[in-house]
Structure 1
Amino acid sequence: MPIRRARPAVTLRASTCLTNHKIMSVVVTKSSPAVVAGPFDAGIVHLSSFDRCMGPTEVTLLLVFDQPIDQPVKTIKNALSQALAHYPPMAGRLAATGGDGELHIACTGEGVSFVGASASCALDDDDVTRSALLHGDLAVGYPAEYCSLIDPLLLMQVTEFSCGGFAVGVTWNHVIADAAGMAQFLQAVGELARGVPQLAVVPVRCEVQGSLPCLPPPLVAAMRSHMRVETEELATLDVTIPTSLINRIKFECGGDCTTFEAVAAVLWRCRTRAVISDGDHDASVPLAFPSNVRELVGAREGYYGNCITMQLVQATSGTVAGGEIKDLVRLIKLAKEKVPDIFQNSGADGETGSGGDRDQQQLAPPRYNTLGVSSWRNLGFEAVDFGRGSPARVMWKAHPTVGLVCVLCPPCKGEHGVTVVSRCVKPKHADAFVAELAALDV
């Protein structure tokens, strides 16, 4: 199965009231943003150390549904309004505490920004639709590189296609939730859209004081550094790592290999070969990946705040570019096994005796040499259902200010492999990166 290369990015102007945007041959017509208000309870949510790791950065998700439902814009907007009664922080705003500037979430009920839209194409126009998904105007974005205190914590757009299918674009401030938490919220919106009388999961956002461990300050600082705005010009690519290649790697590893480990190893080696010169065998080329630690730290069921840490795999370019994939898998597995060390002997002051925090401080070296790989598989996005079943496609929408990362997306209908959306190479390295990927599938 060939590796698929995305089309070049298309620059779009910002949306205003009922504007049209042409994406190749696609026209997306948007309504004026409406505010879906939430409950006002005057409460506040104190940010955990996990929340502070993320900072007010923007994340965008696209859910594509090929089975039509009745009036998707109206149906989902109404369900969103009902969901906010169960998730009041989503309708709140960030605010600063006292004179120290420490941020918290104020449950002001100011609401979520919601946009209804229509697209001129059908979802089975594959090439056009794929370009629209990657680079099109199917989601609402924040006006600046970072989310401000006055911005909604959640933005949503529902776009109807000419075939009756629809796409749901969700953009959120990372402080409010990680990907697993947002998947839980969207499942709740789906349940309410279907008329389910009671949510399957009772949401929890404000943990009892001390119930989540305090991450070591060096780790918080390192993760915030990794989340900083990207200034490099990077290529947005949409590729599929074939199932045949993944299965071959698992066989070579004696079955002791997950899909994530196999795909991360492939991306790490291929990108290193594409961007590092042949003579620079000693260059540091770290691989960073997040881990969902809800079970590890005993977070309560239904907790939808941030609960991830970043783990680092250190290696030289010679080791990564010249090594066997199974050896890179082994390095990734060893890093995953060290995740519990972050919390070992961790006290209220955030200090730890494990040394894991010292490893995290190494996230910095040459910025372009570092690759981040994240997985949105098995988090619950694939289970979101607004009335006619699960999405045909779930994907991360890359922002121009986010980079050096690859996101593994849930399976697409009709495709055999793992879809990866990435902004991890400069345009001059894009062809070499895709060629390296293709060379493995032989």
Structure 2
Amino acid sequence: MSARAVTKSAPVLVAGPPGGDDAVVHLTSSFDRIVPPIGVTALLLFDRPIPEPADTIRTALSRALAHYRPVAGRLAADADADGKLLRIEGAAGVPFVAASASYALADVTVPLLGGLAARYPGRLCRHADPLLLVQVTVFACGGFAVAATWNHVLTDGEGMAQFLGAVGELARGASPAPSVTPLRADDGSLLGLPPTIVAAQKQGGSSMLRMNLALLDVTVPAGLIGRVRAEFDAAGLGGPCTAFEAVAAVLWRCRTRAAVVSVSDEAPVTLLFAANMRRLAGARPGYYGNCAVLQPLTSTRGAVANGAAADVLRMIRRAKERIPDLLAPGGTTTEQGAVALTYSTLVVSSWRNLGFEAADFGGGRPARVTWHWHGEGTTVPSCVVCPPGTDGDNGGVSVTSLFVRPEHAKAFLAELAAMSPWKL
């Protein structure tokens, strides 16, 4: 056996208690309709042991599914809409894998992340596939990992964080039922996206290509983030910026300089960042359906690669300020049209403040939350800005990325190192 082995049990199907309501959930929301059926994995790493992690979490998962029955369902085409819409039906169950690692949590590196999660068999999720896969891995040190891999059509990051939070509450015995009452079906209270935006978002999702990209786990130093924010504030370019805005500006600038090198400075480059629309769309408390869009920002290679970080950040801020326009009836702009997903495109998602960092299965909050991609090749250059672990952001903000080709990885890391606080 390898010194870095993970031993997995055969998956067992976890379902909620029998006799529950298996009502069909029709995915008619415009936010559900724009999401491609891709698998997403959230990895929560815990350094404090709990008794029998796999058994404890499997039992809590079953109890949670009594309240979140659609999570145990399967997708089907809506016959009344010629297959153009989907529904969730039944409660067949969630495959659960118990695993053990021969190494300690402190030894986890990027190449080892893949062994900590269950995966879908194909590049895209099929209708017959489970909507959620769960793996719990116990490390040699007593720490453990909880990996949730889900079909994005089921929910977005905030919805999955809400579900895992409920599993944690039940694992701790904090209450007989989740403290947040879940709501999956759109009862008509959500504002809808205009047809032009729905079409543009769906067209972008269907244009995904295979790319050979390097998986990198990087930290944007706290000092660099502080200096970018200070530069932005000193220039009077707007109100105080967030850590995410600063990190996105740094990543886009460094990646453009290092990886988008075979085009002229006038060539377009695009940043797509995920925008949580719950507040703007009027989502009710407990709603765990999809409620996010990708907001595009297109500039030139020269403006991004050669501009100051604060100037790049100002572009991002202006794009964020246009997000409410996405809900305006018939309202759209040229930038909000379909975006081809090429190597000159970067997709950035933030998992900060979604709730993953608050999950607690009995031993406290996760020491680390990260993201992993299981596809055969990658569809688009992308990264996730991860939430802080138990030590906060003292060392900087962690980013898990698949956005540069292997031959550009060294140059990207060099660009990030060169953006030290005294070289802005």
Decide: shared fold, TM above 0.5.
yes
Cα 1:67/1:227, change in 2 over 3 Å: farther
Cα distance in 2 for partners of 1:132, 1:196 equals: 36
- Which of 381, 384, 394 is equivalent to 1:404? 381
* Matched residue, 1:297: 281
- 1:97 is displaced (CA, Å) by 1.5
- Which of 84, 88, 94 is equivalent to 1:112? 94
**Does the 8 Å contact 1:159/1:166 carry over to 2?**
yes
**Offset from partner CA, 1:272-324 (integer Å, 9 cap, x none):** 11123376110100111011011111110000000001111110001111111
Cα distance in 2 for partners of 1:93, 1:168 equals: 22
- 1:399 is displaced (CA, Å) by 2.8
* Matched residue, 2:236: none
Paired residues for 1:90-129 under 5 Å: 90-98=71-79, 100-125=82-107, 129=108
Instruction: Give identity over the alignment, percent.
Output: 54
Secondary structure of 1:421's aligned partner: strand
Cα 1:286/1:301, change in 2 over 3 Å: same
**Offset from partner CA, 1:224-267 (integer Å, 9 cap, x none):** 34445541111111100000000011111116211011000001
1:41 and 2:21 are equivalent in the alignment: yes
**Does the 8 Å contact 1:44/1:104 carry over to 2?**
no
**Does the 8 Å contact 2:76/2:89 carry over to 1?**
no
Q: CA RMSD in A?
A: 1.7
- Which of 138, 146, 150 is equivalent to 1:172? 150
* Matched residue, 1:188: 166
- Which of 123, 144, 147 is equivalent to 1:145? 123
Read off the aligned partner of 2:343 and give its amino acid letter: Y
**Does the 8 Å contact 2:156/2:289 carry over to 1?**
yes
* Matched residue, 1:10: none
- 1:413 is displaced (CA, Å) by 4.2
Alignment length, in residue pairs? 406
**Does the 8 Å contact 1:398/1:422 carry over to 2?**
no
1:258 and 2:242 are equivalent in the alignment: yes
Structure 2-normalised TM-score?
A: 0.92
Identify which range, 69-78 or 222-231, moves more after superposition. 222-231
**Does the 8 Å contact 1:62/1:133 carry over to 2?**
no
**Does the 8 Å contact 2:218/2:400 carry over to 1?**
yes
- Which of 322, 326, 334 is equivalent to 2:310? 326
* Matched residue, 2:360: 385
**Offset from partner CA, 1:185-243 (integer Å, 9 cap, x none):** 000000000012232211011121x3222222332233234445541111111100000
* Matched residue, 2:224: 245
**Offset from partner CA, 1:147-202 (integer Å, 9 cap, x none):** 11111000000000111100011100001110000000000000000012232211
**Does the 8 Å contact 1:72/1:158 carry over to 2?**
yes
Cα 1:193/1:402, change in 2 over 3 Å: farther
Cα distance in 1 for partners of 2:86, 2:302 equals: 45
Identify which range, 283-292 or 225-234, moves more after superposition. 225-234
Cα distance in 1 for partners of 2:210, 2:282 equals: 37
* Matched residue, 2:336: 360
Secondary structure of 1:303's aligned partner: coil
Read off the aligned partner of 1:244 and give its amino acid letter: G
- Which of 190, 193, 199 is equivalent to 1:221? 199
Cα distance in 1 for partners of 2:136, 2:245 equals: 34
Cα 1:388/1:42, change in 2 over 3 Å: closer
1:435 and 2:417 are equivalent in the alignment: no
- 1:343 is displaced (CA, Å) by 1.0
Cα 1:386/1:279, change in 2 over 3 Å: closer
Cα distance in 1 for partners of 2:24, 2:7 equals: 37
Cα distance in 2 for partners of 1:322, 1:362 equals: 26
Unaligned 5+ runs, structure 1? 1-19, 347-351
Unaligned 5+ runs, structure 2? 234-238
Cα distance in 2 for partners of 1:362, 1:177 equals: 22
Cα distance in 1 for partners of 2:193, 2:126 equals: 25
Secondary structure of 1:121's aligned partner: coil
